[in-house]
Amino acid sequence: MIGKSRIDREKKTGKIFEIYLVIIMFRKLYSHLERNARSTPLSITCGYAIKKDDETMEQLFSRADENMYRNKSRMKEGAAGHGGNRGR
């Protein structure tokens, strides 16, 4: 018999993989737009969170927003130090 913690861990791993696939799709879209619309500056910042059992949807979205803004700050810091924002 498979333990509940293992099943939960496998579900979480599957969710993280799905999120990773969405991020890859955004990066491909970004690359396409960057190649074909050079005159329009574009950046994409993502943030995600995986719902905890006792968490409301509002709390979940709040954590995802916090992660997005944290990533955005990191991108800006990287852009300042490297002469440009590549959105990655």
What pLDDT, on the 0 to 100 scale, is given for residue 24? Answer: 84
pLDDT score of 23 more than 90: no
Q: Which of 39, 42, 46, 26 minimizes the C-alpha distance to 86?
A: 42
Q: What is the pTM of this model?
A: 0.52
pLDDT level of residue 62 (50, 70, 90 thresholds): very high
Q: Measured between alpha carbons, how far is 17 from 23 in angstroms, rounded to an integer? A: 10
Identify which has the larger pLDDT, 74 or 43. Answer: 74
Choose among 14, 11, 22: nearest CA to 53.
Answer: 11
pLDDT band for 11, please (50, 70, 90 cuts): low
